[in-house]
């Protein structure tokens, strides 16, 4: 039983708690059972220096042996333990792998030099530690029992020109490192008391060229501890606006310069000569070291630095396994100035674009694009659009015919968004009512939803920034032409291109990295587009999106618009130059609305009813009236639908404001025309009154009012006859060949009575 060891070769043993049976961690380099009392050969691992506690001992001692029974007893009693030591990465990797990890040429050259030194050391001790003409290590027990080993070491050292102690140290390091050649690597990375700055009595590093050519009297400026702190403080002045070179010069002008106060009170700094002040390299080295940040980190800021450096080692799709489990939501500006549909000289600012992107397949399934500022309402419009199953009618508004499956409809169970449009109480209420969730990313962190952020960049690069009137995502500089001057496209034309871009993204682009393995290996081949991947997963039953009542979601999410119920339908109310008024031509009605009897009630009472309707501000063709029995859909009743479908509510209000201004400007002309009419009519009236007065003056007796109106029918006939006579007088002359027709006058009793009346009144 005592001959069975509780350890194996290359194990590392150490003292147990409160024990000192070993001198420290020791490696088992050989186990010899050939002796009557089996032995175990141990060698010390790295040891701390006896006097320099922050350094390691450079020399390795020779192996020593102990009885296996003794060591077993130490292990059983807990005086000795077997350590579970992780192998060193530097000793385990291949040379090619370590070289491949070198990102800089200088680091690669240093590593190659270390490999060369290691190989020379191994070549020196190879005849001593390996079997003849092989790289297979000798047994330690055999080497230690070889009486000629000391002589062989001396002969080999003399042959190579080394000290015998050097070869012994290399041999012991080789054995202590587990008989690995990499154990002979020089520990240059641990030289110089790591972690502690070396005190400078002269400038460190290579000598400057000016010193070598005798232009400088010194090698440069040695740094004191105070100098290093000053450089660290100056290094922290680096910002996006202040370059490292500017920060260095500013620091030098503050601490290593002669200062002079001018008569105007300004301080002028004259820098010391370069050999008497820190160099830019010293500034960058010690500034970075003391500030614990790189210059690039200071320039881009902590947030972007974390985004560039931090990684979870996995993809954003690793957290989902089914369609509709999660989607990304984000918004941006379109970076394109547009023009009005009514007048291309009327320029409009860039749109707000919000998109929803399904996580697993990358399908864009929801979008809002309008002039409303980003808000919880616009975010809900994007979610509502995403839940619409058939978007072909929506696309047809802008002249694009799409398949029903080109832009699918779904309501994801979770939406990942930033702390923007979706972070509001109304959206929290929507979560509770319809069962979807919203997860918010940390502030100023776009990397947790990098997929949708990248999609915005693609849309900008391949669509927005290629259109006339684009801002290219940059603010206008002073003196630069305003991009709105080049704007040519209107809202409908832009939406047409945006829809085609989304359709291309969903149905044309192939993304084999997102496709399941079974789909890629299927026969016949299925193109790995996002649409095909979506349909494949849906056929496999991997669609966990929420089944929602679209009408209920629409009633909840569509914004309210003020309106009034009139006898002929619903009229929208808008603010025109700060005054609420009916927007002309925007009248909505439907048979279902008429059947409610509310229009008949308004007609009977003569009083309009104030209300609110639900509608998309970017779609004026329809609206919904909430009632106790549900939502009533009303459609626009104007005959000219082509104008309404291409305008948004904001554009129509703007048009109404323009018409109001034009109406105000033409008010003076209308008043002038009315004044002229009134004056003309008044003159005719006064002239007629004078004629009546003159006619009455010729009569002996003023006729009664009854007499004046008693012969209206007779007067009508006489007037007709008079007009006929005037017409005959003004008729053009008739040729001789034409036969004239004479119409004899027919005696009338009324004419005789009228003539008698005038004779009696003379």
Calculate the average pLDDT of the chain: 86
Q: What is the pLDDT of residues 103-125, one digit of tens each?
A: 888 889 999 999 999 999 999 99
Reported as a pLDDT band with limits 50, 70 and 90, residue 1 is very low
pLDDT above 70 for 518: yes
Q: Which residues of 627-637 are buried (b: 16+ CB within 10 A; e: fewer)?
A: eeeebbbbebe
Query: Which residue has tokens 């929420």?
Result: 546
Compute the half-sphere exposure of residue 652: CA atoms within 13 Å on the CB side of its CA.
Answer: 21
Between CA 95 and CA 754 the distance in angstroms is 136
* Distance of alpha carbon 637 from the chain centroid: 40
pLDDT beyond 90 at 528: yes
Among 237, 242, 240, 239, smallest CA distance to 255 is for 237
Per-residue pLDDT, 235: 92
If pLDDT is split at 50, 70 and 90, which confidence band does 234 have? very high
Q: pLDDT tier at 529 (50, 70, 90 boundaries)? A: very high
Reply yes or no on whether the pLDDT at 640 is more than 60. Answer: no
Smallest CA-to-CA distance from 446 within 328, 294, 312 is with: 328
Task: Please tell me the predicted confidence (pLDDT) of residue 743.
Answer: 45
Lowest model confidence (mean pLDDT) among 81-95, 110-124, 375-389: 81-95
CA angle at 310 for the pair 304 and 311, rounded to the nearest 5°: 130
Report the alpha-carbon distance of residue 675 to residue 673 in Å, rounded: 5
What pLDDT is recorded for position 752?
56
pLDDT tens per residue across span 655-668: 888 888 888 899 99
Per the DSSP assignment, residues forming a β-bridge with 580 are 575
pTM of the shown model: 0.58
| pLDDT-based confidence at residue 762 (cuts at 50, 70, 90) | very low
- Tokens 């296996």 belong to 68
- Section 178-192 average pLDDT: 80
Structure tokens at 732: 């053009």
For residue 2, the model assigns a pLDDT of: 52
Predicted confidence (pLDDT) per residue in 20-59, tens digit: 888 889 999 998 888 888 899 999 988 887 777 667 788 8
pLDDT computed for residue 751 by the predictor? 54
E runs forming strands in 74-205: 80-83
Q: How many helices, marked H, and strands, marked E, lie in the chain? A: 28, 20
Assess contact for 648 and 371: CB atoms under 8 A. Answer: yes
Where are any strands of DSSP class E within 159-315?
257-261, 267-271
Q: Which residues pair with 565 in a beta bridge?
A: 570, 609
Preceding peptide of 360 cis, ω within 30°: no
Interhelix angle for 149-160 vs 164-176, to 10°?
A: 110
B/e letters for 115-134, b = 16+ CB within 10 Å, e = fewer, are: beebeebbebbbebbbeeee
Whole-number pLDDT of residue 133: 84
Beta bridge partners of 338: 348
pLDDT of 506 above 80: yes
Q: What is the pLDDT of residues 308-350, one digit of tens each?
A: 666 655 677 778 889 999 999 999 999 999 998 888 998 999 9
The whole-number average pLDDT for the span 477-499 is: 92
* pLDDT for 311: 61
Please compute the mean of the pLDDT values over residues 682-711 and round it to a whole number: 88
Q: H-type helices in 193-279, by residue range?
A: 209-212, 225-235, 244-255
What pLDDT, on the 0 to 100 scale, is given for residue 56? 77
H or E, element range at 173: helix 164-176
Only one residue has tokens 């009228």, namely: 754
Q: Would you say how long the chain is, in residues?
A: 762
User: Rounded mean pLDDT of 553-566?
Assistant: 86
């Amino acid at each position: 039983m005592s001959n069975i060891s509780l350890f194996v070769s290359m194990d590392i043993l150490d003292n147990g708690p409160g024990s000192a049976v070993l001198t420290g961690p020791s490696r088992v380099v050989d186990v010899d059972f050939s002796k009557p009392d089996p032995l175990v050969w141990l060698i010390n691992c790295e040891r701390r220096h006896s006097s320099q506690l922050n350094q390691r001992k450079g020399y390795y001692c020779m192996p020593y042996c102990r009885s296996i029974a003794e060591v077993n007893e130490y292990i059983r009693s807990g005086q000795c333990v077997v350590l579970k030591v992780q192998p060193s990465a530097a000793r385990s990797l291949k040379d090619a792998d370590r070289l491949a990890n070198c990102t800089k040429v200088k680091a690669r050259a240093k590593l190659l030099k270390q490999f060369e030194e290691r190989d020379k050391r191994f070549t020196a001790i190879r005849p001593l530690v390996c079997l003849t003409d092989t790289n297979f290590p000798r047994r330690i027990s055999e080497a230690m029992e070889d009486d000629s080993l000391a002589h062989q070491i001396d002969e080999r050292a003399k042959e190579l020109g080394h000290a015998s102690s050097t070869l012994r140290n290399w041999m012991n390091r080789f054995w202590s490192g587990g008989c690995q050649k990499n154990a002979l690597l020089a520990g240059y990375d641990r030289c110089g008391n790591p972690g502690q700055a070396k005190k400078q009595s002269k400038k460190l590093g290579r000598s400057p060229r000016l010193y070598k050519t005798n232009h400088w009297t010194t090698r440069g400026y040695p740094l004191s501890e105070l100098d290093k702190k000053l450089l660290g403080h100056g290094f922290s002045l680096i910002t996006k606006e202040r370059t490292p070179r500017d920060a260095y010069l500013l620091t030098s002008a503050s601490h290593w310069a002669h200062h002079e106060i001018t008569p105007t009170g300004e301080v002028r700094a004259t820098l010391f000569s370069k050999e008497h002040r820190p160099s830019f390299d010293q500034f960058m080295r010690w500034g970075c070291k003391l500030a614990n940040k790189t210059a690039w980190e200071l320039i881009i800021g902590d947030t972007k630095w974390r985004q560039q450096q931090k990684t979870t080692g996995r993809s954003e799709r690793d957290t989902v396994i089914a369609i509709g489990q999660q989607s990304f939501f984000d918004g941006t500006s379109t970076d394109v100035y547009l023009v009005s549909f009514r007048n291309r000289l009327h320029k409009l600012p860039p749109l707000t674009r919000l998109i929803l992107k399904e996580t697993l397949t990358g399908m864009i399934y929801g979008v809002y694009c309008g002039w409303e500022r980003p808000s919880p309402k616009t975010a809900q419009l994007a979610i509502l659009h995403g839940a619409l199953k058939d978007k072909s009618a929506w696309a047809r508004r802008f002249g694009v015919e799409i398949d029903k499956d080109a832009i699918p409809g779904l309501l994801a169970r979770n939406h990942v968004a930033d702390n923007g449009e979706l972070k509001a109480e109304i959206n929290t209420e929507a979560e509770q009512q319809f069962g979807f969730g919203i997860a918010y990313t940390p502030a100023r962190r776009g990397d947790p939803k990098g997929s949708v952020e990248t999609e915005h960049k693609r849309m900008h690069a391949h669509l927005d920034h290629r259109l006339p009137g684009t801002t290219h995502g940059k603010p206008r500089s002073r003196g630069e032409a305003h991009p709105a001057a080049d704007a040519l496209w209107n809202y409908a034309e832009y939406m047409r291109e945006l829809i085609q871009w989304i359709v291309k993204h969903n149905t044309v682009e192939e993304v084999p990295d997102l496709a399941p393995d079974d789909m890629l290996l299927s026969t016949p081949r299925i193109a790995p587009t996002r649409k095909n991947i979506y349909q494949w997963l849906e056929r496999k039953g991997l669609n966990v999106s929420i089944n929602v009542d679209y009408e209920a979601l629409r009633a909840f999410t569509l914004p309210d618009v003020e309106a009034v119920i009139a006898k002929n339908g619903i009229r929208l109310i808008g603010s025109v130059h700060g005054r609420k008024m009916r927007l002309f031509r925007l009248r909505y009605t439907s048979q279902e609305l008429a059947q409610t009897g509310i229009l008949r009630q308004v007609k009977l009472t003569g009083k309009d009813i104030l209300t609110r309707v639900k509608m998309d501000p970017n779609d004026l063709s329809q609206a919904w009236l909430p009632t106790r029995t549900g939502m009533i859909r009303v459609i626009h009743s104007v005959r000219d639908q082509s104008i309404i479908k291409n305008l948004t509510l904001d554009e129509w209000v703007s048009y109404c404001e323009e018409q109001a201004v034009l109406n105000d400007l033409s008010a003076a002309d209308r008043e002038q025309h009315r004044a002229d009419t009134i004056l003309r009519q008044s003159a005719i009236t006064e002239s007629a009154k004078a004629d009546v007065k003159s006619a009455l003056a010729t009569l002996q007796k003023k006729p009664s009012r009854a007499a004046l109106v008693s012969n209206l029918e007779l007067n009508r006939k006489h007037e007709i006859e008079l007009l006929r006579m005037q017409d005959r007088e003004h008729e053009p002359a008739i040729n001789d060949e034409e036969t004239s027709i004479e119409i004899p006058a027919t005696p009338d009793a009324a004419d005789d009575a009228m003539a008698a009346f005038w004779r009696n009144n003379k």
